Chain A
Amino acid sequence: MNVRIVFGGASSRIGMALCACAVAVLAAAPFWAGRDDLFLLSQIYCYLALASLWNLLAGYAGLVSVGQQAYVGLGAYVLFALAILAGVSPLWAIPLAGVFSAAIAIPVALLVFRLRGHYFAIGTWIVAEVFRLIASQVSMLGGGSGTSLPAAVIVGIAPSRQLRDFIIYWIALGLVVAIVALIVLLLRSRYGLALKAIRDSELAAICNGIDVKRTKFLVYCLTAFGTAMIGALIFLQRLRVSPDAAFSVNDWTAFVIFITVIGGIGRIEGPIVGTVVFFALRQTLSDFGALYLLMLGAVAILVMLIAPKGIWGLVVERFGWQVFPLERKVVLDAATVARE
Chain B
Amino acid sequence: MEWVNVILQGVLVGGLYAMFAAGLSLIFGVMRLVNIAHGDLIVLAAYLALVTTETLGIGPLTALVIVVPVMALIGYALQRLVLNRTLGDDLLPPLLVTFGLSVIIQNGLLELFTADSQKLQAGAIEVATVPLASGVYVGVLPLVQFAVAVAVIAALQFIFYRTPLGRAFRATADDAQVAQLMGLDNRHVFALAMALSLAMVAIAGVFLAVRANFDPSQGPSRLIFGFEAVIIGGLGSLWGTLAGGLILGVAQAIGAHLSPGWQILAGHIAFLIILAVRPEGLFPKVRA
Contacts and interface: CB of A to CB of B under 8 A. Distances in A.
A127 B275 CA distance: 12
Given A126-B268, A129-B268, A66 B36 contact: yes
User: By DSSP majority rule, is chain B's interface helix, strand, loop, or mixed?
Assistant: helix
A204 to B, nearest CB: 13
Nearest to A296: B103
A174 interface: no
Contact of A294 (B92, B96, B107, B231): B107
A130 B269 contact: yes
A64 B271 CA distance: 20
B86 A304 contact: yes
A301 B82 contact: yes
B214 interface: no
Contact of A130 (B85, B91, B227, B268): B268
Among A111, A134, A300, chain B packs the most CB atoms within 10 A around the CB of A300
Nearest to A266: B92
B57 interface: no
Contacts of B107: 290-291, 293-294, 297
Contacts, number: 124
A282 B153 CA distance: 44
Contact of A119 (B111, B231, B268): B231
Nearest to A294: B107
A115 interface: yes
Nearest to B268: A130
B111 A294 contact: yes
B6 interface: no
A117 B288 CA distance: 9
Given A121-B34, A130-B269, A305 B224 contact: no
Contacts of B93: 304-305, 308
A126 B271 contact: yes
A64 B104 contact: no
Given A114-B279, A291-B111, A297-B107, A129 B224 contact: yes
Contact of B97 (A130, A144, A301): A301
Among A136, A289, A304, chain B packs the most CB atoms within 10 A around the CB of A304
Nearest to B114: A290
A58 interface: yes
B200 to A, nearest CB: 19
A250 B34 contact: no
A258 interface: yes
B181 to A, nearest CB: 24
Contact of B276 (A111, A122, A127, A296): A111
B77 interface: no
B91 A250 contact: no
A243 to B, nearest CB: 11
A137 interface: yes
Given A111-B275, A136-B261, A249-B220, A298 B227 contact: no
Contacts of A254: 99, 102-103
Given A257-B96, A294-B107, A298-B104, A117 B91 contact: yes
Given A111-B272, A130-B268, A122 B34 contact: yes
Given A133-B264, A133-B268, A64 B92 contact: yes
Among A133, A296, A308, chain B packs the most CB atoms within 10 A around the CB of A133
A300 B265 contact: no
Interface string B98-138: 01111110111011000000000000000000000000000
Contacts of A117: 32, 91
Given A130-B265, A254-B102, A257-B99, 20 more contacts: A64-B92, A66-B99, A111-B276, A117-B32, A117-B91, A121-B95, A125-B220, A126-B224, A126-B227, A126-B268, A129-B221, A133-B261, A133-B264, A136-B261, A137-B261, A250-B103, A289-B111, A291-B111, A297-B107, A301-B82
Shortest Cβ-Cβ A-B pairs, 9 listed = A118-B34, A297-B103, A297-B100, A290-B107, A301-B100, A114-B279, A297-B104, A133-B265, A294-B107
7 contacts: A66-B95, A118-B33, A133-B264, A254-B99, A290-B107, A300-B100, A304-B93
Interface of B: 28, 32-34, 36, 82, 85-86, 91-97, 99-104, 106-108, 110-111, 220-221, 223-224, 227-228, 231, 261, 264-265, 268-269, 271-272, 275-276, 279, 288
